[in-house]
Amino acid sequence: MTILLLIIAVISLGVFVTNAPYFEISSVIIEGNDKIPSSLIEEEGNRLIGENILLFSSDDLEENLGKQPYLEDIQISRKFPSSVVVAVKEKKAEVNYYKDGVISLLTREGTLLETGANKVEGVTLVDQVELPKLGENLYSESPDKMKVLEEFRYLQERNISEVIFTEIDLSDMKNIRTYYNDLEIRLGYTDSLKDKLNAAINIISEGDLSSVKGYVDISYVDEPVVFDETKLEAPTEDEESSENGDG
């Protein structure tokens, strides 16, 4: 009899909890979003309104929000008695990619987050690759470029010198380039990127090249080449006349 009464009590409690208005979801709390509009999350989350907080499924909410290119992770939790907390973690835009006069924002790995955007702090990428769909990677078919872009951004973050490289040109993977003021930094192939950038920083700093126009070829770290356009000798009047066929 005692066991029977206990079973009846448990069943009654279960029926009460699953049907009591007290446990119906009445609000959705959003946390962590910046680029993803709150209205979009609310629109998806409001589909849970009226459901029992103990029994609702978050699968549809996670699936629909997962289509957002900025979304990296989503955590859905219950806040008793009647609220659901949707905490999102967004991907960070760290690369500016110029294509046809429009700025598109990418992650450091090359995932496209937004087109027609304002420039963000980070890396300016130069290339001729067509844009993928939002949420897809610019270099899905060029993993070597993806790796270089990510490594360049990583090294840029950790650069504590006054020589800052903000642009990388991956148009030609045999001659990767970056820039500092009017200097073109020729990095050559993808190998030893860290050593090459450190060597370029040392050459520019020790040689006081901040105002020099030309290039630093660091393709081979042990055999760097510095070219200063201002040191080219201007032709004399006689040489100019000879080139023009006079005299």
Residues 50 and 172 in one domain: no
Residues 111 and 157 in one domain: yes
Residues 86 and 112 in one domain: no
Which CATH number belongs to the domain containing residue 29 in this structure? Answer: 3.10.20.310
Is 143 part of any domain? yes
Is 239 part of any domain? no
Closest CA to 150 of 135, 168, 164: 168
Residue 32: give the domain boundaries.
24-90
pLDDT score at 237: 57
Residues 78 and 187 in one domain: no
pLDDT score at 201: 96
Residue-wise pLDDT tens for the chain (247 aa)? 677 656 765 565 455 545 556 678 899 999 999 999 999 898 888 888 988 888 888 888 888 888 899 999 999 998 988 899 999 999 999 999 998 889 999 999 999 999 999 999 999 999 999 999 999 999 999 999 999 999 999 999 999 999 999 999 999 999 999 999 999 999 999 999 999 999 999 999 999 998 999 999 999 999 999 999 877 655 555 555 555 555 4
d(CA 93, CA 115): 11
Closest CA to 139 of 175, 106, 93, 96: 106
Burial (CB < 10 A; 0-12, 13-18, 19+), residue 34, is exposed
Identify each DSSP E strand in the chain by its residue range.
Answer: 27-31, 71-79, 83-90, 95-99, 102-106, 112-115, 123-126, 167-169, 176-180, 183-188, 214-217, 225-228
Residue after which a domain boundary falls, among 41, 73, 90: 90
Residues 107 and 205 in one domain: yes
Burial (CB < 10 A; 0-12, 13-18, 19+), residue 104, is buried
Residues 67 and 168 in one domain: no
